[in-house]
Structure 1
Amino acid sequence: MIDITYAQWQGWLQLFFWPTLRILAFTMASPLWSMPSLPRQVRVLFGVGIAVAIAPALPAMPTIPIVSLEGLGLMVQQILIGVAMGLVLRIMIAVVLTAGEFISMQMGLGFATFYQPDSGTNTMVLSRILEMFTLLMFLAMNGHLIALEILAWSFEMLPIGTTSIDASFAETLARWGGTIFTSGMLMAVPIMTALLMINLSLGILNRASPQLSIFSVGFPMTLTAGLVLMTALIPSLGNFWGDLFSQQLQFMQGIIEQMSGANGS
């Protein structure tokens, strides 16, 4: 009969518990794995599966009791690391949502909204469509595999229980949020410029012929032109999406290095 001591049980539990905590925090914060259509049980099994797969290659786990004050602090640290990494991917999706809102307002589709369960707010239809395209392109370009690779690499840069986090990463992450507006505007500028020219032309036409009802003509014209421009633009968005994914994944790697203090050393 094989006797298993309490110390052995605790060692096995610690071997998988701490990595699973960081992985689950990452999946909860990232847009791809936190979709409401994905059951919670699947997310938990996904996190546990990744932890089991990478556990043999991880550095030695700390011998800190899980149910203790020190263990509570370590839990918060792992959750903070995972959430910070997931927020980087969340910024990537926010860029596309912002671009969709800019285009929708210019097209006159600002009223076309519906409730989005994962964000708990009303989202414009065009933004939702662009979000789905972005997620599909992210999967097609193997961005999810690169993100998981960076997640596994984070255990080398930030070993569990042996390093402290450089708090300056919070300011860097907040400043990086500015790309939501800048990159979103860059994505929407071609269509917004064309629609602005159409609106200016309609304004000039209204001044030249006041008896013409511009409202009845302008709305369907801008809507039709916006749809045609979106159809023409989407095939050319591959390069933009590739650059966006590359920037976000590189920043995710950089934020891990900053947490570990590697950038300052």
Structure 2
Amino acid sequence: MGFSFAEITQLLGSFWWPFVRISGVFMFIPIFGDGAVPRKARVLLAFFLTLLVVPFVEMPPTIDPFSLQAVTMTMAQLVWGLLFGLTFQLLFTVFTLIGQTISMQMGLAMAVMNDPANGVSVAIVGRLYLFLCTLLFLAFDGHLVALALMVESFTIWPIKNGLAMASVWMVIKMMGWVFASAFAIAIPAITAMLIANASFGFMNKAAPSLNVFALGFPMTMVLGLFALFISMNGINSLYFDILLEALAFSRQYMQGGT
């Protein structure tokens, strides 16, 4: 039994396009897209997941694999997957930004540690929040929800639809949501540190002979740790609310940004 070139092309296309989209997702999505996960492991995971997904994916139109249209479709699916993973990665960015902000207010902006997984330097407090965010993400089965949404995306936004500019614009608008969410959680600690710094200023005016610089740093550290403890209060419910908002953004992205 022989196969025509068109049938072989359609068969390869039915596997290639989902594989490109899933590979793009695994480049950015939390946990699976972490730098500590080897690239070969991510490629193999994308390959086997594609084998499971292909039977349920709507057959894309037959496209000549050596045409410009095939290159355009490949790039569209890759970018679609990258942006979908980014919608979840921005959730972690919220908590990293919280830690960075509190570190600056505590005078620990220079206290950073290397993140070997992502190859960047992160503030110690930011690393603490990132670690907490990762644990809560796993506790709420966020990684399983992300995979389920990725599989569901082939039904909600088929491969033939390409990439909608409304979806790209929605991801850009998520940047504002990141800053707003981080500020809303960090504002108690920021307010406490601003009051402390203002108090040191009044002390310096009232008693110029008092060495505020010698007393200010350790007191700022103690107040900063206390403010950090306050900001941690109720973090579970706040995290759950932010996670629901991130999932809503992801579903909106899957629907073409509408």
Specify if TM > 0.5.
Answer: yes
Question: SS state of the match for residue 165, structure 2?
Answer: coil
Please say if residues 29 and 90 of structure 1, whose CA atoms lie closer than 8 Å, have aligned partners that are also in contact.
yes
Looking at structure 1, the residues matched to 30 and 143 of structure 2 have their Cα atoms a distance apart, in angstroms, of 11
Please say if residues 24 and 81 of structure 2, whose CA atoms lie closer than 8 Å, have aligned partners that are also in contact.
yes
What is residue 178 of structure 1 aligned with on the other side? 176
What is residue 218 of structure 1 aligned with on the other side? 216
Looking at structure 1, the residues matched to 52 and 169 of structure 2 have their Cα atoms a distance apart, in angstroms, of 33
Alignment deviations for residues 27-85 of structure 1 (CA, whole Å, 9 cap, x no partner): 10223322121111111111112212222211123322333322111101111211111
Q: Which amino acid aligns with 1:199?
A: N
Looking at structure 2, the residues matched to 133 and 6 of structure 1 have their Cα atoms a distance apart, in angstroms, of 54
What is residue 197 of structure 2 aligned with on the other side? 199
Please say if residues 101 and 127 of structure 1, whose CA atoms lie closer than 8 Å, have aligned partners that are also in contact.
yes
Q: Which amino acid aligns with 2:28?
A: A
Question: SS state of the match for residue 114, structure 1?
Answer: strand
Please say if residues 21 and 80 of structure 2, whose CA atoms lie closer than 8 Å, have aligned partners that are also in contact.
yes
What is residue 19 of structure 1 aligned with on the other side? 18
What is residue 238 of structure 1 aligned with on the other side? 236
Question: SS state of the match for residue 64, structure 1?
Answer: coil
Looking at structure 1, the residues matched to 115 and 66 of structure 2 have their Cα atoms a distance apart, in angstroms, of 37
What is residue 144 of structure 1 aligned with on the other side? 143
Normalising by structure 2, what TM-score? 0.91
Looking at structure 2, the residues matched to 118 and 220 of structure 1 have their Cα atoms a distance apart, in angstroms, of 32
Please say if residues 185 and 231 of structure 2, whose CA atoms lie closer than 8 Å, have aligned partners that are also in contact.
no
Looking at structure 2, the residues matched to 28 and 166 of structure 1 have their Cα atoms a distance apart, in angstroms, of 20
Task: Quote how far apart the aligned CAs of 1:173 are.
Answer: 1.9
Question: SS state of the match for residue 258, structure 1?
Answer: coil
Listed as ranges, the gaps of 5+ residues in structure 1 are none
Looking at structure 2, the residues matched to 175 and 232 of structure 1 have their Cα atoms a distance apart, in angstroms, of 30
Please say if residues 99 and 129 of structure 2, whose CA atoms lie closer than 8 Å, have aligned partners that are also in contact.
yes
> Which of 246, 252, 261 in structure 1 is aligned with 2:250?
252
Please say if residues 62 and 160 of structure 1, whose CA atoms lie closer than 8 Å, have aligned partners that are also in contact.
no
Q: Which amino acid aligns with 1:167?
A: M
Percent identical pairs in the alignment equals: 29
Looking at structure 1, the residues matched to 38 and 225 of structure 2 have their Cα atoms a distance apart, in angstroms, of 34
Question: SS state of the match for residue 108, structure 2?
Answer: coil
Q: Which amino acid aligns with 1:92?
A: L
Mark the CA change 1:258 to 1:10 in structure 2 (over 3 Å): closer, same or farther: closer
Looking at structure 1, the residues matched to 164 and 3 of structure 2 have their Cα atoms a distance apart, in angstroms, of 38
Question: SS state of the match for residue 178, structure 1?
Answer: helix
Q: Which amino acid aligns with 1:165?
A: L
Aligned residues: 257
Q: State yes or no: 1:109 paired with 2:108.
A: yes
Listed as ranges, the gaps of 5+ residues in structure 2 are none
